């Protein structure tokens, strides 16, 4: 007894209801994350209240407030932007509802404003992308960076890590660095403009996620350039279509960032229910995909 904190709860009475506040569901990564959360909830017998903020932090704020008003037992929150949710976290705290941040960070103190953050080390992801780039261009490159959503912890950290990794190589020139909101359409559009401005000087495109990489690849091809060869494409995530692009030779590498948070999110909540000490950050390990292993992960990807 006492070891299985589960959906039925200690008193064995009602099924636990947990909220999942998703920021948007606009690409394979987000859809895989949402599915992982709902699959895991179903598997463990929880009722899941899932919301979709449709890219609006203001909606995400009211989604969390609604969960508090409904008196859910816990909230899993994937915050779109770092700032802007403090009031919603405070409302949950006031109602004694534990909040677990997953996949992106938000302003606040772990152990106080929320229980913990569960996700990747985004600085390290950027570093790995940067290190690969230095090595595979002999330290000489004209680089375009397509950044993720402005104001997200992920975009800041993936930038920082990459810049750290290239800073001691004077031949690594950043031609432009612009936000493209983590979407394929923006990635393509921003890339089209940057090709106009920088043309053949571009030898590397570093994108903060695969959707933007795939958009950039389309723009490069449309301009008669050769992604994967003359222009190296370096990304983060590891979604199925990116692994396929690596196999096809259009893309070079992608640092893994795993969207399947369901098992670790619910494990962490159940540890919390059992009164175990929860670390302030729970970092999930990432693989690295290139032409040597992309093919064998395609079927396992999303």
Binding site for ligand GYE (CB under 6 A): 29-30, 103-104, 154, 182, 209, 236-237, 257
What is the smallest separation between the CB atom of 215 and ligand GYE, expressed in angstroms?
12
What is the smallest separation between the CB atom of 152 and ligand GYE, expressed in angstroms?
7
Q: Considering beta carbons, is residue 73 or 237 the nearer one to ligand GYE?
A: 237
Q: Measured at CB, which residue is nearest to ligand GYE?
A: 209
User: Contact at 8 Å (CB) between 262 and 39?
Assistant: yes
Q: Give how far Cα 214 sits from Cα of 49, 151, 184, 233, 301, Å.
A: 32, 22, 6, 9, 16
What is the smallest separation between the CB atom of 16 and ligand GYE, expressed in angstroms?
26
User: Contact at 8 Å (CB) between 217 and 250?
Assistant: yes
Q: Give how far Cα 222 sits from Cα of 134, 181, 202, 219, Å.
A: 27, 21, 15, 5
- Residue 201 CA to residue 122 CA, distance in Å, equals 28
Using alpha carbons only, give the angle 150, 302, 249 rounded to the nearest 5 degrees. 85
Q: Considering beta carbons, is residue 137 or 268 the nearer one to ligand GYE?
A: 268
Q: Considering beta carbons, is residue 21 or 209 the nearer one to ligand GYE?
A: 209
What is the smallest separation between the CB atom of 27 and ligand GYE, expressed in angstroms?
6
Q: Considering beta carbons, is residue 7 or 165 the nearer one to ligand GYE?
A: 165
Q: Considering beta carbons, is residue 44 or 128 the nearer one to ligand GYE?
A: 128
What is the smallest separation between the CB atom of 49 and ligand GYE, expressed in angstroms?
21
What is Dmax (Cα atoms) for the chain?
67
């Amino acid at each position: 007894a006492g070891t299985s904190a589960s959906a039925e709860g200690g008193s064995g009475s009602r099924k636990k209801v947990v909220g999942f506040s998703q920021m948007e569901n606009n690409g394979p990564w987000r859809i895989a994350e949402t599915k992982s959360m709902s699959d895991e909830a179903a598997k463990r017998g929880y009722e899941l209240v899932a919301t979709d903020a449709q890219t609006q932090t203001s909606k995400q704020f009211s989604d969390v407030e609604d969960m508090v008003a409904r008196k859910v037992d816990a909230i899993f929150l994937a915050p779109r932007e770092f700032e802007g949710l403090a009031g919603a976290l405070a409302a949950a705290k006031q109602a004694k509802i534990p909040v677990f941040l997953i996949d992106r960070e938000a302003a606040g103190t772990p152990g106080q404003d929320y229980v913990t953050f569960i996700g990747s080390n985004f600085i390290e992801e950027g570093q790995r992308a940067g290190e690969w780039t230095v090595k595979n261009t002999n330290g000489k490159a004209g680089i375009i960076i397509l950044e993720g959503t402005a104001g997200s912890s992920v975009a800041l950290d993936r930038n920082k890590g990459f810049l750290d990794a290239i800073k001691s190589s004077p031949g690594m020139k950043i031609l432009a660095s612009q936000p493209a909101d983590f979407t394929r359409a923006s990635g393509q559009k921003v890339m089209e403009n940057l090709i106009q401005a920088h043309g053949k000087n571009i030898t590397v495109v570093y994108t903060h996620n695969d959707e933007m990489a795939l958009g950039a690849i389309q723009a490069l091809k449309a301009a008669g350039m050769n992604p994967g060869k003359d222009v190296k494409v370096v990304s983060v995530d590891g979604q199925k279509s990116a692994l396929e692009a690596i196999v096809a030779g259009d893309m070079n590498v992608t640092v893994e960032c795993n969207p399947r948070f369901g098992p670790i999110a619910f494990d962490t909540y159940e540890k919390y229910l059992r009164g175990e000490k929860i670390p302030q950050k729970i970092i999930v390990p990432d693989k690295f995909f290139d032409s040597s292993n992309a093919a064998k992960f395609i079927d396992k990807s999303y």
